[in-house]
Every structure is written in structure tokens, then in C-alpha cells.
Amino acid sequence: MSPLSRSFNYWRDFIKSYRTITSFRWLVIGVFVGVFSGLVAVAFFWLVEIGKFIIQHNLAGIVSPEPAGEGIFHGPAGQYRPWVIPVFTTGTGLLTGWMVNKFIPETINGGTDGTDATINAFHNHGGIIKARVAIIRGALSILTIASGGSAGREGPITQMGAGVGSWIAKKFDFSAKERRLLLLSGAAGGLGAIFRAPLGGALTAVEVIYREDFEAEAILPSVMSSVVSYSIFTFFFGTEPIFGIPRFSFHDPRELIFYALLAFVCAFVGWMYIRTFYFIKYHVFVPLREKIGLMWAMGLGGLTMGLLGVLYPYTAMDGVVTGGILSGGYGWLELAILGQIPALGMCYIIIGKTVATSVTIGSGMSGGMFAPALFVGGMSGGLVGKFGHHYFPDIVTQPGAYILVGMAAFFAGVANAPIGPLIMVTELTQGYGLLAPLMLASALCLVLSRNISLYEHQVENKFDSPAHAEDATINILEQMHVSDFYNPGDVIVLEESTTLKALTDIIANSDQFYFPVKREDGGYTGMVSIHNVRNWMFEEDLHDLVIVRDLMSRPVYVRPDYDLYQALLRFVNTDYGQIPVVAITDTNEIIGLINRDDVFQAYAEAIAEVKAEAEDAKE
């Protein structure tokens, strides 16, 4: 066989597998989405880093510490000009307000950040994120973070990755359900790349959309997208984790007491973090927006953030002025993990970061709440680690580990996403030495923070999501019973020994299409469909040779006390048009038939009712 013929056969087999094997199809789609989301993540990260280097490092002369795995641009700092920061943050706020108002006004009330906008698109907009929304919000996020706004990269890259998935689904005319899964796959690709944590990014994407559930169907394409996106990202920027930190391990069971205390501290700080954000957003900037307009309100938010960034307490390291609450802040987390920030400094940074992030994102500027949340959570955990190490040095021997656990526990509480952040931290530390305290602290913080959520469009579970309106019909169908829908009365029952000739006469004089079959002892043994008989009816030579036993298929039945969901499953599994209804006390006693059309009609009416209720709830 020639190489061309072999190539053709491989391609034919590939197409056949794509069309017939669902898991293979999603694997291929996940790879495709991962390629595009990975390239977007590379461009986004590079633009953010060069923007920070130019504006903060060169123009403002402010040097923020960079974690070991980042900081791709290096050089001497420029002359110290602190006024550059508020000038750029104000300009970014004004530009953001103007562009949002002119080009994407539908995003004004889009939620907390890019992650929340993705959640909203999944639940309420059929998995659609318009290309212009992802592009404009992504570009504005670059300016916000580069100019010093207290925001993270993860929210914007989640929205941009989700936008990639939505765009691909639109180009290939996928269904609404498939579009939602591609939305999550793109988000997973963006998160996995920007965090350099492929498994954690994939799991976070599929669980953050719910408080008490996750989107299981999206796991395969999300994992594949995240792996491919991560691979592309590390091809350009290396495989080193974000933090250059030592390996931590858990070895003393007594230390679990302090990790439990950490959960309580993170839950309290998380409550304050969310309350502060919502207060500044809805009690300061929303009324301000109504009075002076969107653009000027955002401009005022940018000015306030810029002034906070240069006036809030800062540190001078080796004679170089260092920003304390500007941009994402991963460098400060690394310094804290290495023990170079005192407890009082952590308290200052927690307060400043909370207010600065609330002003930046609450005013409507573009950026993410993910990184600031990890920052605040890490510093909160660090306080517990400092306390424990100071008073119980024999038990708490590695206070830096509490910062990592605090990051995961804090985000688990405020975002109701316990698994993804936990895995992310294990990937960041390149080991499972802290797995036990991570699990304990995350679980406790999740329970303690069950009544709060960082993301406004997050719903409890699938049954609360308009995206799964059809799934809610299962509950409705379970409340309806066969007894209310079947046709009671005499049913023509065949015997196994009935000949094809006799069966032809029975069919000609009956309006039944499906006939139950019994053995000589009266036991229900099978079903005969007109469709099975049609090919034999006109073969007169076979009329006396073929009997019902040769034509019947497997038996199935329902009872009057069965719900319609059970009946629906039997119709779907057998493709019968009618199913016998048997007595509750004797499954061999056939008392009627139930029609498939009646059950499907009830199903359609249930879907219509649920969707109508969902529309009313929106209004």
C-alpha cells in the first residue's frame, strides 16, 4: 500500500472515530481549543509583563518584587516618579468607561470580573461570549494591570479563553450544550496556562460555575485544553512554577490544630473581603455612575487606585522604592513564603489589597479578582503561620507553608471551589507534602463560608441553572405516574406458538402496533412489533412455518405506580411505541398499554413550563 493510500486510510479512520466515538470527539475538540487558548495566554501574559515593565519600572521608578517563575523583563529602574501611577490608572479608567459604554454596554452589569462574566455566559447566555467583548475586556485588563491597578490576570484570561471556545463553537455550528462545554474548555485552557497548573486550571473551570456541583461532562475537553494550552505556554516561558520556594511537608498531626485555626481566619477575612467589595461597588460606584456617568465614575476609580498605590505604606529595599499593593502581587507572596515580610506588614498588605482591589474592580475597570483573592488568603494564612511558629516553634516549623494553604482555603471559601485551588497549590509546590492540611483547611473554610460568594452569577447546582432547564424535567416527570397516562382495558396478548398466518389476521383486525407475548404457563416473555412482522407478512410460504417466538423481542413493562421518568427511560432504551402496563401484584397480568407519544408530550410540556419559569425569573 502506498504512503498516500495509508494516509487516506488513517484520515478516514480518524473521521470515523470522531463521528462515532463521543470521548474521542471531545478529546480532539479539547486539543483544538487548547491550541488557540494557549496562544492567547502567551500574548496576554507577554503584553501584561512588558506593560508593567514600561509603566511601573521605567516610567514610575517603582520596582515590585517578581516571583522566580515570572519577571521576564529586567533592567535598571527609572527615576522615581510616583505621579505616573495615578496618571495611568486614571487614564485607563476613563478609557475603560468610554470603550465599554460605546462598544460593549451589555457588559456594564456583567458581574464581578471576567470569571463571573464567563459564569454568566454559561448559565444565562447559551455559552456565548462575543468576540469583541473578549478582545476589548482583555486589552483593557492589560492596561489596568500594567498601570498598577490591583487586579489579576486570571479573570481576564478566563474570559478570553472562554471567548475562544465560544467562537470555535459558533464557527463549527455546535449546539448550545456543546458551546457551553467549549466555553469551559477555553476557560480551563487559559487558567491552566497562566497558572502553569494544567489539572488545577481544568478542575477550577468546571467547578467554579456552581456552589455545590460541577460540570462533569466538561472534564475531558477541559483537561485536554488545559494540557495543550499549558504546553504551548511553557514552550515560550519555561516550565518552572510561579514561585521559587522550598518543598514543604506535613509531618506532625498536632499541626492540624493550627491549620483548622487558619480556616477560621481565612473564612473571616474572606467575609470581610467580599463585604468590602460589594459595599464599594454597590454603595459607592454604582450610585456615582448614575450621577456623573460611567466614564467619569471609572476614571475616579482609577484615580483612587493610583493614589492608594503610591500613598499606601511601601517598603524600600536596597534603596529602591517598592510598590506594595500594585497589580497582582505574586512577588510579595513569594517573599512572605520565604519569611521576609513581618506579621505587621502582612496585616497592612491585607487591608490595602482588599480596599485597592475593591476600588479597581468595583469601579468597573477590567481585571480579575482571582489573584488578589489568593494574595489576601495567602497573607491571612501567613499570619497564622507566624503566630504558630512564634509560640509553638516545635510544632509549626514551616510558617511559609501556611501561606500556600491559606491561598487554597481562602479561595475555596469565597469562590465555593475546593478542588481546583487545592490541586493548583500542589502543582505550584510540585509535591503533595501539604495535601492533608490543604484538604482540611479547604473543607472547613468551604463550610464556614457557605453563605457568601465572590461571583454574583454562581448558582447552587445544575437544577438552579437555566443551562440545565431540561434536566429539571426529571424532577417533574418523577411527580407524574403511569396510572394517569396509560390506556386501561383489554390488550391483545399473543402466544409464543401463534403462527405468522394467524398473526397476520390479528394485525389486520386490531389497532394495536405492539403485542405482548406469553408462554403456555402464562408468563410474560416478549414483545412483537408490526415493524418486525412487516417483512414476513407477504411471504405466504412461511405463514405456517414462522411462529411468534421467532419474531418477538425482549419484554419490557411498567406498573401503574411507576413515575413517567421510569417510563421515559424504558421507551428510550427499547424504542417501542407502546409498552404493556402490568398489575402491581403480578407482572404477568397485563392491564393496559401506555403510548410513547403521551409520555413525550408530557416531557415537552414539562420543559416548556420550566423554561417559562426561568424566563419569568429573569424578568
- 232 pLDDT band, cuts 50/70/90, is very high
Question: Which one is predicted more confidently, 616 or 228?
Answer: 228
What is the average pLDDT score of the chain?
86
Question: What is the reported pLDDT for 316?
Answer: 46
Please name the residue that has the C-alpha cell 487548547.
34
Contact (Cβ atoms closer than 8 angstroms) between residue 96 and residue 140: yes
- Angle between helix axes 256-280 and 343-362 (nearest 10 degrees) is 30
- pLDDT tops 60 at residue 618: no
449-467: per-residue pLDDT in tens? 988 888 988 988 877 787 7
Please name the residue that has the C-alpha cell 481565612.
266
Contact (Cβ atoms closer than 8 angstroms) between residue 556 and residue 490: no
Domains parsed from the chain with CATH numbers? 22-81+115-237 (1.10.3080.10), 253-293+313-457 (1.10.3080.10), 474-606 (3.10.580.10)
| 3-state per-residue secondary structure call for 247-316 | CCCCCCHHHHHHHHHHHHHHHHHHHHHHHHHHHHHHHHHHHHHHHHCHHHHHHHHHHHHHHHHHHCCCEE
Mean pLDDT for the stretch of residues 250-267:
93
Asked which of 42-51, 68-77, 444-453 is least confident by mean pLDDT, the reply is 68-77
Question: What is the reported pLDDT for 470?
Answer: 59
Q: Please, what is the Cα angle at 338 between 77 and 268, to 5 degrees?
A: 105
Contact (Cβ atoms closer than 8 angstroms) between residue 361 and residue 277: yes
- 504 pLDDT band, cuts 50/70/90, is confident
Residue 31, Cβ neighbours under 10 Å: how many? 16
Cell numbers representing residue 586 in the block = 403480578
Mean pLDDT for the stretch of residues 13-39:
85
403-447: per-residue pLDDT in tens? 999 999 999 999 988 888 888 888 877 777 888 999 999 999 999
What is the torsional sign of CA 596, 601, 602, 606?
A: positive
Question: What is the reported pLDDT for 136?
Answer: 94
Distance CA 533, CA 305 (A): 79
Burial class (CB in 10 A: 0-12, 13-18, 19+), 290: exposed
Question: What is the reported pLDDT for 319?
Answer: 47
Distance CA 122, CA 109 (A): 16
Residue 510 backbone dihedrals phi, psi, to 5 degrees: -135, 150
Question: What is the reported pLDDT for 384?
Answer: 95
- Angle between helix axes 154-171 and 131-147 (nearest 10 degrees) is 160
Sheet holding 590-595: strands in order across? 487-488, 590-595, 578-582
Mean pLDDT for the stretch of residues 236-255:
87
| DSSP result, 399-463 | THHHHHHHHHHHHHHHHS--HHHHHHHHHHHTS-TTHHHHHHHHHHHHHHTTT--S-TT-BSSGG
Beta strand spans in 3-157 (E): none
Question: What is the reported pLDDT for 471?
Answer: 60
The one-character DSSP state at 216 is G
Question: What is the reported pLDDT for 550?
Answer: 82
Question: What is the reported pLDDT for 51?
Answer: 94
- pLDDT tops 80 at residue 19: no
- pLDDT tops 50 at residue 473: yes
Distance CA 468, CA 463 (A): 6
Question: What is the reported pLDDT for 240?
Answer: 84
Cβ-Cβ contacts under 8 Å for 603 (sequence gap 6 or more): 473, 477, 564, 568
Beta strand spans in 502-562 (E): 514-518, 524-529
What element of type H or E holds 194?
helix 176-195
Closest CA to 245 of 407, 68, 436: 68
Distance CA 138, CA 453 (A): 24
Closest CA to 524 of 491, 567, 568, 563: 491
- pLDDT tops 70 at residue 472: no
| 3-state per-residue secondary structure call for 498-510 | CEHHHHHHHHHCC
- 475 pLDDT band, cuts 50/70/90, is low
Closest CA to 185 of 204, 169, 208, 162: 162
Contact (Cβ atoms closer than 8 angstroms) between residue 277 and residue 357: yes
- pLDDT tops 80 at residue 199: yes
Mean pLDDT for the stretch of residues 59-79:
84
> What CA–CA distances, in Å, run from 508 to 511, 527, 529, 530?
8, 18, 13, 11
Query: Is residue 566 left, alpha or beta, with left meaning phi > 0 and alpha meaning psi from -120 to 50?
Result: alpha
Query: Is residue 196 left, alpha or beta, with left meaning phi > 0 and alpha meaning psi from -120 to 50?
Result: left
pLDDT > 90 in the chain, percent: 43
Query: Is residue 583 left, alpha or beta, with left meaning phi > 0 and alpha meaning psi from -120 to 50?
Result: beta
> Beta 514-518 vs 524-529: how paired, if at all?
antiparallel
Question: What is the reported pLDDT for 335?
Answer: 87
291-322: per-residue pLDDT in tens? 999 999 999 999 999 999 888 755 544 544 45
Bridge partners for 487 per DSSP? 593
pLDDT > 70 in the chain, percent: 93
Question: Which one is predicted more confidently, 331 or 442?
Answer: 442
Cell numbers representing residue 485 in the block = 397516562
Mean pLDDT for the stretch of residues 499-509:
83
Cell numbers representing residue 150 in the block = 490591583
- pLDDT tops 90 at residue 246: no
What is the torsional sign of CA 64, 70, 159, 463?
A: negative
Question: What is the reported pLDDT for 59?
Answer: 93
Closest CA to 353 of 323, 317, 322, 387: 323
Bridge partners for 529 per DSSP? 514
Range from 318-322, 359-363, 596-600 that averages highest in pLDDT: 359-363
Question: What is the reported pLDDT for 547?
Answer: 83
